[in-house]
Amino acid sequence: MSVTTSRILVIAPNWIGDCVMAQPLLKLIKQQYPDQPIDVLAPSWVAPVWRAMAEVDTVLETPFKHGALQLRERWRYARLLRQRGYSAAYVLPNTLKFALLPWMAGIKKRIGYKGESRYGLINVMHHDDPLAPRAMVPFYAALAAAPAAQVPAHLARPRLQVALANREQVLTALDLSGTDPLIAFAPGAEFGNAKRWPTTHFAQLADSILQAHPKAQIVLLGSPKDNAVCDEIKTLCPAVHHLAGKTTLDQAVALIASASAMVSNDSGLLHIASALNRPVIAIYGPTDPDHAPPFSDIAHSLSLRLACAPCKQRECPLGHQDCMQKLTSELVWQPLQSILLPSAVVAVDA
């Protein structure tokens, strides 16, 4: 391709929630370099998140396998990146292999955190304090300034956008109404079982919603890995729409953008709902609700804050999972009731 202006490259994290939390960084980059288009190099499974960001010009989907070095393939891809004329690269993953790409591509300014001994590969090196780590939004936003500079006190909230036509198209394709209330549940969690609110609680909550709002449409969202937990909820409450593994992430984002509310474990879909400014109920057990909270205008972060939490373990080390089991459906239904009142729901932007 012929290069007419220099561009900025952002190398994306592998996790949906992390990608959402990085959006304020793009906003800061755009403020500093308004005339330089921003390209994002991202795995295919998170690419739809970046396509929903106004600051992104082009999303380049990585051809690499998750966890593999694939050195020859990286050299080959670096030659393609070199042709796009990048003046700087922001490397958001902390791994060595992603820091290799901009160095191989000859990009002069390569910004990122120390990560896996990346001296030389990263030449604008940032450091986070392991004893007082930054929350995710300021962690990424700090890369827009010089190392050790103060992160702005008031950062923009992560924001995504989905065109009205796309939302309507997805609702029609999935045979859902655009006028009846749509409540999205995200019962899965990539991190592990400890982060999952019990399926019985989700089913009880669905029953409470349908008793109060008989026309409500409750959709279960997630990846194919979440099929089993969604099957359990569907068995307990047959009226829900089981869509886990049956939608693309693009479709899931469009559905969430149309939702009256989202009830979710601490997961990537929660942060998508937050960035779309949908009302959210975020359920935290073994993870810290203050580390990556939702930023919607209407957001409830629910945590029992037990003495054993946040343990940050994939499986409950004590074997009881009280942090989730004792967070009953009634405790979630209380704030959700007020969200579902017509006067309380945040309007969906056109």
- Can you spell out the DSSP letters for 21-69? HTHHHHHHHHHH-TTSPEEEEE-TTTHHHHHT-TTEEEEEEP-PPTT--
Half-sphere exposure of 36 toward its Cβ, with a 13 Å CA cutoff?
22
* Structure confidence at residue 270 (pLDDT): 94
pTM recorded for the entire structure: 0.88
Backbone angles phi, psi at 11, to 5 degrees: -95, 120
Instruction: Tell me if residue 323 falls in helix, strand or coil.
Output: helix
Q: List the structure tokens of 155.
A: 């950062």
User: DSSP 3-state helix, strand, coil percentages of the chain (rounded to 5)?
Assistant: 35, 15, 50
In 3D space, the residue among 137, 93, 85 whose CA is nearest the CA of residue 111 turns out to be 93
Q: Which domains does the chain have, with CATH numbers?
A: 7-144 (3.40.50.2000), 164-339 (3.40.50.2000)
Neighbouring residues of 142: CB distance < 8 A, sequence distance ≥ 6: 126, 134, 149, 151
Phi, psi of 8 (to 5 degrees): -110, 135
Tell me how many degrees the CA angle 56-221-138 measures, rounded to the nearest 5: 40
Rounded to 5°, angle at Cα 82 from 78 and 83: 125
61-83 b/e with 16+ CB inside 10 Å = b?
A: ebebeeeeeeeeebeebbeebee
d(CA 69, CA 125): 22
Q: What is the pLDDT along the chain (350 residues), one digit of tens a residue?
A: 444 579 999 999 999 999 999 999 999 999 999 999 999 999 999 999 999 999 999 999 988 766 666 788 889 999 999 999 999 999 999 988 889 999 999 999 999 999 887 889 999 999 998 888 888 899 999 999 999 877 877 888 999 999 999 999 999 999 999 999 999 999 987 766 778 899 999 999 999 999 999 999 999 999 999 999 999 999 999 999 999 999 999 999 999 999 999 999 988 999 999 999 999 999 998 778 777 788 899 999 998 887 787 777 777 777 788 888 999 999 999 999 999 976 455 555 54
